[in-house]
Amino acid sequence: MINVKAFAKVNLYLEVTRRRPDGYHDLATLFARIDVSDRLSFRKTAVPGLKLLVEGGPQGLCEPLDNIVYLAAVKFFAAFGLSPAVEIKLEKNIPLGAGLGGGSSDAAGALLGLARLYKLPRSAAGRLMKIAASLGSDVPFFMLDTAMAVGTGRGEKLKVLKPAAGLPYVVLVYPGVPVYTKEVYGRLKLGAKAEINRRRKDLGLLCGLIKKGRFAAWQAGLLFNRLEDPVLPVNKEVLLAKKKLAKAAGNALMSGSGASVFALCESRAEAARLTAEMGRIRGYRAFLTKFC
């Protein structure tokens, strides 16, 4: 039996730099892994075939062709010329449509877990990463055993950022209503080139502070997410969650394309108090977590 944790992420910074001819967008983003996770387990079976069991999450996740874990497994076996005889169990905890990369992390977890189960050599890493990129723009980040990375291109071009100790705690709030990425990008208006260039300098400053161990909650003003522009005016639940969190914590940012928002806290006690306060709001899920 092989067990894998599929961690969620938040985006500490996300700027959309251009629309690409292929219909995708180029980004500059700072992925940050957090200690909220799904769990996957893998075991070989005597009977040939690929079986997926799902606990938690919406009913639709149980349909294999609608589940990215199943799709990742199919691509894995095709790429390496292996015949499947495996059962995969997925335990969902990360909310869907939350901007936390739950599906992408599950896909990466499937590839990594199957690679361990079938004892692939280290030389297979490049092929695994190509499969990851074909499954989604932020799947490659979750293939890395790292807390943070700067993503460019569609998000698949990665540069690992090694944070020093002493990072703030994270209070994460999901307001109970999913947001769908395709719709968000359909409403997006790019920033002016001069503004994008200025914002990119903030990303460099943010990365420098994190590497030196000098990033603190009071510097949350450096955090930025361009996708708030097309989300907050039309998704009132997300806007309200951000306002409530910002009022209580003094800072708040939406993660990815939403719907989750998060705040940074210097102490665990402060983060615990804030998590309890937000968790009492009807329909909200609140998590006290940390970068990992």
Alpha carbons within 13 angstroms on the beta-carbon side of residue 283 total 10
For residue 63, the model assigns a pLDDT of 77
For residue 80, the model assigns a pLDDT of 98
For residue 58, the model assigns a pLDDT of 77
For residue 175, the model assigns a pLDDT of 98
What are the start-end ranges of the E strands in 110-166? Answer: 148-152, 157-161
Q: Give me the long-range contacts of 274-282 (CB less than 8 A, separation at least 24).
A: 274/171, 274/245, 274/248, 274/249, 275/171, 277/248, 278/171, 278/173, 278/244, 278/245, 278/248, 281/244
Please name the CATH architecture into which domain 2-161 falls. Answer: 2-Layer Sandwich (3.30)
The residues annotated as belonging to the active site are 9, 138
CATH 3.30.70.890 at 169-289, yes or no: yes
Q: What is the pTM of this model?
A: 0.96
Please name every residue paired with 137 in a beta bridge, in sequence order, or none if there are none.
Answer: none
What is the distance between the alpha carbons of residues 40 and 208, in angstroms, rounded to a whole number? 34
Q: Where in the chain is the domain with CATH 3.30.230.10?
A: 2-161
Helices (H) and strands (E) in the chain, counts: 9, 11
Q: Where in the chain is the domain with CATH 3.30.70.890?
A: 169-289
For residue 83, the model assigns a pLDDT of 97
For residue 60, the model assigns a pLDDT of 65
What is the distance between the alpha carbons of residues 291 and 288, in angstroms, rounded to a whole number? 11
Residues of the chain with pLDDT under 50: none
38 SS3 class: strand
